[in-house]
A = this chain, B = another copy of it.
Amino acid sequence: MSLPTAPPSGFRDFLPEQVSARQRVMETIARVYRSFGFQPLATSAVEDLQVLTGQGGGENEKLIFKLLKRGEALDRAVADKTDLADLGLRFDLTLPLARWYSKHGSQLAHPFKSFHMGPVWRAERAQKGRYREFTQCDIDIIGSQSWGAEAEIIGAILAVFEQCGLHGVKVHLNDRGLVDAALAAAGAAADKRAAACVSIDKLDKIGRDAVLAELIALLGQDPADALAKSLLGSAASASPALAEISAAVKILAPSAEIVIDPSLMRGMGYYTGPVFEFRHASLSGSLGGGGRYDGLTERFAGQRTPACGGSIGFERLMLILEETGQGGEHPALDAVVTVFSDELRGRSIEVGAALRAKGLIVDVFPGSGKLKAQFRYADQKKAAYVVVIGPDEAARGVLQVKTLATGDERAMTLADAIVTISA
């Protein structure tokens, strides 16, 4: 029986150009975050299930990939009908950060500014554009109550978009504290408020009337009307913090459009203050977002620590960059050095090493075969030059250097070839 060649449903393979583009963008993100003084941290893909299910993950908890227990532990679990797993793959980077910080935070400069990038896994129903493994790029400031933290996180993420060549990103801003106050003022029952937030969050997707209908059904006519004015109306007011954040973001990104958006909720249960989201005209949904989550480390460290974080939707960013041709390419192949025969392979290897020592990217043909096939190989790999060393060239101590774009071919010394190919 032959084995499957496709990755499992919802998982992906990447071709060389895709990997190059992704690595370039990852390097840009890391470089920009570093330039703001953020430091990288890393956690493992695998966490204890009690960490993953311990708090605030909301809907995502249901999507955890769990690792089957092994050996005797598995036999016991099956016999006793107890849990078959006690480890799982992380579904975001925020819970692992909270755990990491609770363990290592005391060694670090405060407020702690970190970034954290890597794959996360969710057992989503596989569908177009939704993957079971995808990359997140988080940035967080832990230990600061100042709105300066929000401003810097939003500013750094906007700088990433700019550095990737993506212009016109809009920032939507809201304050979950304002939402809570509006819900209380409208007289919404405490146990209905989470559901009300879910409805209000759909404003963009289903429109004002539909949201209002949901709120009436949920809360009754009067509270719904009050919310329509305070949160869904054009006269919705901004908190002082939002004004400060907006002004500071404007300093970092003068051309950024900032929208105070009272309906913005950002699903996750753990946000406690300002929340934000990045949007772009060419994409429905968001390019990333974040907010203040002062309570997150509490369950680990036993104390409430102010924190604020944001995340770039890496897969969506790659999608936009691919569509606009801005993925960014790694340097291309400078030359393919052909191999005339096994006897002359050593000379080709030597020439390749000499060119590489000058910083060039040089591929010595790794197989054997006709020169024609080797030229086709150079074409396919988009090399700029092909170097040929036959018995005649080897005897004369020269190389044939062919420019693939023009077809020009000249015999020259290695020293001249270095100059030509480096030009």
Contacts and interface: CB of A to CB of B under 8 A. Distances in A.
Interface of A: 2-8, 11-16, 18-20, 22-23, 27, 30, 34-37, 39-48, 50-51, 54-55, 65-68, 70, 78, 84-85, 87, 89, 99-100, 102-104, 107-111, 113-114, 119, 121, 123, 132-133, 141, 143-149, 151-152, 155, 244, 247-248, 251-252, 299-302, 330-331, 333, 336, 339, 342, 345-346, 349-350, 352-353, 356, 360-368, 376-377, 380-381
A2 to B, nearest CB: 6
A123 B15 contact: no
A246 to B, nearest CB: 11
Can you tell how many copies of this chain the complex includes? 2
Contact of A37 (B37, B39, B41, B333): B333
Nearest to A101: B5
A345 to B, nearest CB: 5
Given A13-B103, A44-B7, A330-B34, A345 B300 contact: no
A148 B368 contact: yes
A14 B41 contact: yes
A152 B152 CA distance: 47
A339 B84 contact: no
Among A89, A244, A301, A364, max chain B CB count under 10 A is at A364
Given A152-B366, A361-B35, A381-B109, A346 B47 contact: no
28 contacts: A2-B299, A3-B54, A4-B48, A4-B51, A4-B300, A6-B103, A7-B44, A8-B46, A8-B47, A13-B100, A14-B43, A16-B40, A35-B356, A35-B362, A36-B364, A46-B65, A66-B67, A70-B123, A84-B84, A108-B380, A109-B380, A109-B381, A111-B377, A144-B367, A147-B342, A148-B345, A148-B367, A152-B366
A44 B302 contact: no
A146 B20 contact: no
Contacts of A51: 3-4
Contact of A252 (B40, B54, B144, B353): B353
A313 to B, nearest CB: 19
Contacts of A55: 3
A218 B338 CA distance: 48
Contact of A11 (B4, B44, B299): B44
A353 B146 CA distance: 18
